[in-house]
């Protein structure tokens, strides 16, 4: 097929760059460069970074220059073509997309940290990545593999670290763009240093009518980040991030509706989400003497969300309006000691982490005759759900020789999950406590300067969340759930020569007591419930290549293969839902004369089992291929007496170049409009255009 030939050509050109790479570094758009001095975070806090080449894990770092060149508007779009990542849309507006890693679905297997503060919702471990202001981000690190010994529970697949920018270099930028479906985008930023102080402010506004009825909305994101250099390698910084999102949720279509007209929406014309999230984080890093350095992070994160769900059940049951507010305090303290001995260099990091978060929720049933309205004086439900976690951690990185590095770590977590209900049943109140130790160990071997080989082992766990245990009586709750636990084994290698790099890793993850939703009705749970599904196994291969094909042409390619299956129980040998077996991306970016640039990329995702179909009884969601193109131009005029007027630019992009009709998510569920179980799919947008102008200092 044509799309496979295009992707194969891009992949061939990209992989061949490993052989043809020159001595200059690539300016690729999405993937970490090949320089072995790329520094990443190897401990809980960003204190003393280590070279990526020393880390026994598959790590990708995306820097500010790459973020700007990508044209991405949120973190999900930025990470869409990273090896091991899978994106899908549950709500149908193409904005609030779920990001999975290494076959852990629902976003539950990833711990996300923004300036050291955990961004996962303590109510359900989910994270709304679209709320992070991308204009404020300096770099993003994706560390794959079980990481509970570093990050605590909910990190079976890995960690995403987001680090915000500094205002130490005077710079400013503005951008305005418009395109298909009434899309408008505006953003600006300005940063400046004032002696030892620096300040950066950013703001972004996006609005769209949407590609389907009720798929539109708007979002405003802004940030203010300040820091002070205290001297002697010490720094104190404070970041404030804010997001307000108001979007419709057009939901899914039955398979027959999708095949008839994927842009239609009949049943979810009222559904919507209105959410405000804010985070303030203070961070300190500095040398303390006697070989010690200290790092500390203190943060507060709050959010308020209202959502209306009606859909196909509205004519029978009406709708449901949920109003919730949450607040989370977290703090981490870490001390690091470095020493040099005859047996090599040693870096020991140890510390403690505390988190306390709670969510107050009030729900209102709406009537079938008026599913979009509710009586604020007559709530149908009211509850408080929360989680408290305390942890101690220790990690040692021992560089025996420049060729051999050993890493070992341990962490103990104690989690307490609580739930109190006042409406409809004030007798429901419960507390669950879980304790879990986690360990990790790895070795990195450098047989020759261009090559590293690593192997690692790690534990991970995920305690049941308040939502899974208590929050939806009759609609999935199960207070008898046990924590998920997992063990990961991984081997990998890195090759780098000049501008070319190739990362490869093979992993094996065994998970016990994986929590899934079982839609099978019972007398006590007519709409299904959460259950421990027994054991699952995820085996996979990840390849990530990037490099320079010619003096002004850069390329990248990724390939991910995952075999995710249940082991034991009634679904033994069946595929885990929502995990595509194969995912590949590739692209080329070229710098042309007169300030022009052009980029073309493609993404292929294979078929995947439907959500709510652990028995694999239904037909799979079909595979899809998407190609994109972006052309840019930038010019820096000069004043008559010298000096620059800044850089003026323009761009135009096409997403879904071939106008493919496809869906990113499928679910097998009850259809209230027909009274039967149906396959529902969430349509993705067709071809769309965006063009804009920019100026930056």
Q: Taking the CA atoms of 65, 70, 76 and 81 in sequence, report the sign of the dihedral they define.
A: negative
pLDDT of residue 511: 93
Q: 555 with 10: CB under 8 angstroms?
A: yes
pLDDT of residue 289: 86
pLDDT of residue 88: 94
What is the Cα 658 distance to its own chain's centre?
A: 27
Q: Which residues of the chain have pLDDT under 50?
A: 4-36
pLDDT of residue 50: 84
pLDDT of residue 12: 45
Q: Structure pTM?
A: 0.91
pLDDT of residue 18: 41
Q: What angle is formed at CA 538 by the lines to CA 140 and CA 81, rounded to 5 degrees?
A: 35
Sheet containing 59-63, strands listed edge to edge, beginning at the edge strand earlier in sequence: 59-63, 137-144, 158-164, 110-114, 117-118
Q: How many residues does this entry show for the chain?
A: 697
- Exposed e or buried b for every residue in 115-152, given b needs 16+ CB within 10 A? bbbbbbbbbbbbbbbbbbbbbbbebbbbbbbbbbbbbb
User: Which secondary-structure segment (H or E) carries 199?
Assistant: strand 197-208
470 in the Ramachandran plot: left (φ > 0), alpha (ψ -120 to 50) or beta? alpha
pLDDT of residue 475: 64
User: Which of 633, 625, 558, 631 shows the shortest CA–CA distance to 600?
Assistant: 631
Max distance between CA atoms of the chain, in angstroms, equals: 83
- Could you tell me the two tokens for 138? 């300096």
pLDDT of residue 482: 92
Does CATH place domain 2-696 in 3.30.1330.60? Answer: no
Beta-carbon-side half-sphere exposure of residue 495 (alpha carbons within 13 Å): 14
pLDDT of residue 171: 84
């Amino acid at each position: 097929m044509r799309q496979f030939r295009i992707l194969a050509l891009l992949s061939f050109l990209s992989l061949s760059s490993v052989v043809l790479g020159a001595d200059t570094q690539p300016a690729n758009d999405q993937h970490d460069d090949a320089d072995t001095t790329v520094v990443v975070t190897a401990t809980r806090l960003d204190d003393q970074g280590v070279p990526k080449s020393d880390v026994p894990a598959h790590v990708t770092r995306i820097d500010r220059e790459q973020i700007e060149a990508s044209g991405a508007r949120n973190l999900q779009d930025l990470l869409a073509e990273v090896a091991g990542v899978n994106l899908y849309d549950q709500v149908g507006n193409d904005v609030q997309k779920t990001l999975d890693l290494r076959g852990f679905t629902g976003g539950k297997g990833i711990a996300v940290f923004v300036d050291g503060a955990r961004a996962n919702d303590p109510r359900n471990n989910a994270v709304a990545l679209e709320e992070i202001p991308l204009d404020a981000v300096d770099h993003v690190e994706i560390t794959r593999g079980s990481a509970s010994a570093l990050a605590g529970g909910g990190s079976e697949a890995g960690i995403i670290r987001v680090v915000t920018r500094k205002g130490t270099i005077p710079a400013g930028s503005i951008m305005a763009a418009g395109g298909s479906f009434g899309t408008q985008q505006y953003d600006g930023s300005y940063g400046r240093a004032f002696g030892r102080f620096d300040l950066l402010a950013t703001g972004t506004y996006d609005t769209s009518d949407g590609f389907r009825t009720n798929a539109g909305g708007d979002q405003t994101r802004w940030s203010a980040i300040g820091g002070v250099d205290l001297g002697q390698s010490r720094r104190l910084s404070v970041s404030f991030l804010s997001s307000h999102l108001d979007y419709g949720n057009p939901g899914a279509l039955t398979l027959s509706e999708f095949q008839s007209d994927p842009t239609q929406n009949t049943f979810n014309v009222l559904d919507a989400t209105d959410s405000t999230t804010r985070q303030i984080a203070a961070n300190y890093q500095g040398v303390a003497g006697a070989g010690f350095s200290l790092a500390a992070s203190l943060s507060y994160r709050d959010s308020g969300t209202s959502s209306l769900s009606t859909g196909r059940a509205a004519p029978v049951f009406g709708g449901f309006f949920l109003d919730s507010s949450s607040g989370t305090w977290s703090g981490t303290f870490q001390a690091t000691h470095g020493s040099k001995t005859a047996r090599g260099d040693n870096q020991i990091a140890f510390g403690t982490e505390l988190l306390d978060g709670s969510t107050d929720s009030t729900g209102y049933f709406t009537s079938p005759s008026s599913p979009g309205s509710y009586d604020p004086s007559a709530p149908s439900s009211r509850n408080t759900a929360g989680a408290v976690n305390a942890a101690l951690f220790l990690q040692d990185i021992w560089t025996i020789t420049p060729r051999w590095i050993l890493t070992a770590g341990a962490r103990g977590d104690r989690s307490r999950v609580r739930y109190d209900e006042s409406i409809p049943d004030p007798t429901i109140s419960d507390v669950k406590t879980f304790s879990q130790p986690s360990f990790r160990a790895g070795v990195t071997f450098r047989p020759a300067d261009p090559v590293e080989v690593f192997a690692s082992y790690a534990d991970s766990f995920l305690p049941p969340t308040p939502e899974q245990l208590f929050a939806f009586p009759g609609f999935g709750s199960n207070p008898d759930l046990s924590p998920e636990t997992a063990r990961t084994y991984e081997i990998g290698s890195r090759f780098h020569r000049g501008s070319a790099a190739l990362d490869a890793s093979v992993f094996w993850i065994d998970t016990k007591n994986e929590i899934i939703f079982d839609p099978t009705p019972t007398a006590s749970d007519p709409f299904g419930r959460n259950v421990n599904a027994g054991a699952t196994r995820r085996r996979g291969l990840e390849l990530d290549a990037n490099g320079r094909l010619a003096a002004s042409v850069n390329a990248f390619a990724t390939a991910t293969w995952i075999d995710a299956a249940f082991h034991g129980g009634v679904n033994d040998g069946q595929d885990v839902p929502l995990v595509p077996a194969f995912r590949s991306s590739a692209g080329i970016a070229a710098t042309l004369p007169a300030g022009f640039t052009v980029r073309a990329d493609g993404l292929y995702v294979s078929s995947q089992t439907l959500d709510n179909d652990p028995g694999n009884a239904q037909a799979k969601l079909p595979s899809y291929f998407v190609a994109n193109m972006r052309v840019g131009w930038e010019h820096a005029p000069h004043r008559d007496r010298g000096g620059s007027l800044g850089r003026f630019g323009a761009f135009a992009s096409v997403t879904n170049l071939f106008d493919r009709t496809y869906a990113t998510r499928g679910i097998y569920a009850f259809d209230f409009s027909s009274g039967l179980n149906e396959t529902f799919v969430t349509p993705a947008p067709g071809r769309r255009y965006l063009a804009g102008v920019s100026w930056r200092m």
